[in-house]
Amino acid sequence: MALTAIAVVCVVAGVGYVTVAALTADGTTTDAQPQVVAGARGAKAVPPGGELLVRAVDYDNPRLNGRLFTIGLTPTEQPRAAREMACERVHENAAGDGLCLAAKPHGFDYQGIVYGPGREPLRRFSLPGVPDRARVSPDGRYGGFTAFLSGHTYSAGVRSFSTHTAIVDMRAGKQLFSLDQLEVTHDGEPFQRADANFWGVAFAGGDRFYATLGSGGHHYLLEGRVSTRRARIVGERVECPSPSPDGRRIAYKRRVGKQDRWRLHVLDLRSGRDLALAEPRSIDDQPEWLDDETIVYSDDRNVYAVPADGSGRPHRLVARASSPAALR
């Protein structure tokens, strides 16, 4: 009798709450709109004439999918909504080939959306975890993404986060291979590690790419080719690399101390000269080159620009925006 009463109360409360939730659910996309920061576009660090693609950030719910907006860097232009595409992470090349990583409508898992000029979705594929980084190659043939995986039990009881990073065939809209399957060499010797984790792919010319290999507390810079599925270690303490348009430098985040804190740096590939950028805060992002002199990045709330030679200071460019891509 008592159980019947409790059961009825529980069922009524549960079903009622779920019904109300289902009717009022606002889904996985926010209506937030980015705002261009007044005066930022006239600043010295910001080259005029360029154009940025960003995704909107809801300050209260930063992981909700944000709609895409293009922002002209000429002072008078207003942000323009870029169709009904919403992403958690996005990248696009100069030709308009894009890769959008987004939560599926029910919010339970994630998908990658390959789109073409006009930001028209072309292909979709499932992602194995929470979106982290996305990149499209300059020629639009390849994409790369990193997702966080959870639920891998590496030792009894203690789960650890690992990353899944893969190269995407943009025409087929499919994963080509996971970076786990790369043949990695270090000084000509094979480099095999059971605890190897990969993240932060970025493409240079042709089928060349850079990425990060983490193993045993070290973070190596990889340079590889899609066609051969081979890569070699060319540097250390480099995470989320981003080659400059002229291909001579790498912008990246450099881990400081034992905690998860990073500073933005630029490495000159020829001379090996490495310098810290003027952003004093810890930034967890894959930087993007606006042109050969300027780097843009976000702190997951706003988009900033800073000179690539370590001079000057960071300028907040767009509020309520992240994942900037330069539409050169």
Which 8-state DSSP code applies to residue 50?
-
Q: What minimum distance in Å lies between the beta carbon of 158 and other proteins?
A: 6
What residues from 292 to 311 belong to the interface with other proteins (CB under 8 A)?
A: 300
Residue 258 contacts other proteins per CB under 8 A: no
Residue 192 CA to residue 182 CA, distance in Å, equals 10
Residue 246 contacts other proteins per CB under 8 A: no
Q: What minimum distance in Å lies between the beta carbon of 65 and other proteins?
A: 10
Long-range contacts of 138-141 (CB under 8 A, 24+ apart): 138/93, 138/94, 138/203, 138/205, 139/93, 139/95, 139/206, 140/93, 140/95, 140/97, 140/170, 141/169, 141/170, 141/171, 141/207
Which 8-state DSSP code applies to residue 90?
E
Residue 306 CA to residue 327 CA, distance in Å, equals 17
Closest CA to 132 of 229, 279, 266, 253: 253
User: Please, which residue, 7 or 275, has the CB nearer to other proteins?
Assistant: 7
Q: What minimum distance in Å lies between the beta carbon of 15 and other proteins?
A: 9
Q: What minimum distance in Å lies between the beta carbon of 24 and other proteins?
A: 8
Q: What minimum distance in Å lies between the beta carbon of 234 and other proteins?
A: 24
User: Which two structure tokens, joined as six digits, stand for 1?
Assistant: 């009798």
3-state SS, residue 23: helix
User: Please, which residue, 172 or 275, has the CB nearer to other proteins?
Assistant: 172
Residue 175 CA to residue 181 CA, distance in Å, equals 12
Residue 317 CA to residue 8 CA, distance in Å, equals 55
Residue 241 CA to residue 250 CA, distance in Å, equals 6
Among 153, 189, 190, 271, binds other proteins (CB under 8 A): 153
Piece in contact with other proteins (CB under 8 A), picked from 9-17, 182-190, 275-283, 290-298: 9-17
Among 49, 76, 78, 106, binds other proteins (CB under 8 A): 106
What residues from 204 to 233 belong to the interface with other proteins (CB under 8 A)?
A: none
What residues from 79 to 98 belong to the interface with other proteins (CB under 8 A)?
A: none
Closest CA to 289 of 309, 316, 262: 309
Residue 38 contacts other proteins per CB under 8 A: no
Residue 107 contacts other proteins per CB under 8 A: yes
Q: What minimum distance in Å lies between the beta carbon of 210 and other proteins?
A: 22
At position 137, the amino acid (one-letter code) is S
User: Please, which residue, 25 or 256, has the CB nearer to other proteins?
Assistant: 25
The residue count for binding other proteins (CB under 8 A) is: 52
Q: Contact residues for other proteins (CB under 8 A)?
A: 2-3, 6-7, 10-11, 13-14, 17-18, 21-22, 25-28, 61-64, 103, 105-109, 126, 128, 130, 148-161, 164, 178, 192-195, 260, 284, 300
